[in-house]
Amino acid sequence: MPLKKKATLIIILGAVFYFILSYHIIIIKEGVRLLKKSTFTLEYTIFSAKGKSNKTIMAIDILREDGIGELLKEEGLMSEEEEILILETLDIEGYIPDQPY
């Protein structure tokens, strides 16, 4: 294989690996959404939210910290109030609800 082809292949494979380290691929409803990771990791690179409760999804620290709650709200699967209740139930340290009940 010529050097130019090898270099192109290495660059493409590096870009794919960088993408896998940088984004969560979330399977939600009938589609796929991307969620930027806060750190390079292979954890939860592909995650299916189908059949899982919002509390189960929000209980995963990595996804919650990377913004899965916002994604669920954008998709209409969770309201702001439900997110607050879930976070209070999970007793997230440092979380202060914006409004009292």
* Interval 69-91: pLDDT, tens: 999 999 999 999 999 888 888 87
Angle CA 40–41–44, to nearest 5: 130
Is 101 inside a domain boundary? no
Cα–Cα distance for residue pair 74/92, rounded to 1 Å: 22
pLDDT above 70 for 100: no
pLDDT at 101 over 50: no
Residue 96 belongs to a domain:
no
Across the chain, mean pLDDT equals 89
Query: Does 98 reside within a domain?
Result: no
Residue-number span of the structural domain to which 35 is assigned: 3-90
- 79 in a structural domain: yes
In the chain, % of residues over pLDDT 90:
75
Domain for residue 32, yes or no? yes
Q: How many domains does the chain have?
A: 1
The predicted model scores a pTM of 0.78
Is there a domain that residue 44 lies in? yes
Res. 34: pLDDT tops 90: yes
In a domain, 9, yes or no: yes
In three-state form (DSSP H/G/I as H, E/B as E, the rest C), the secondary structure along the chain is CCHHHHHHHHHHHHHHHHHHHHEEEEEECCEEEEEECCCCCCCCCEEECCCCCHHHHHCCHHHHHHCHHHHHHHCCCCCHHHHHHHHHHHCCCCCCCCCCC
In a domain, 7, yes or no: yes
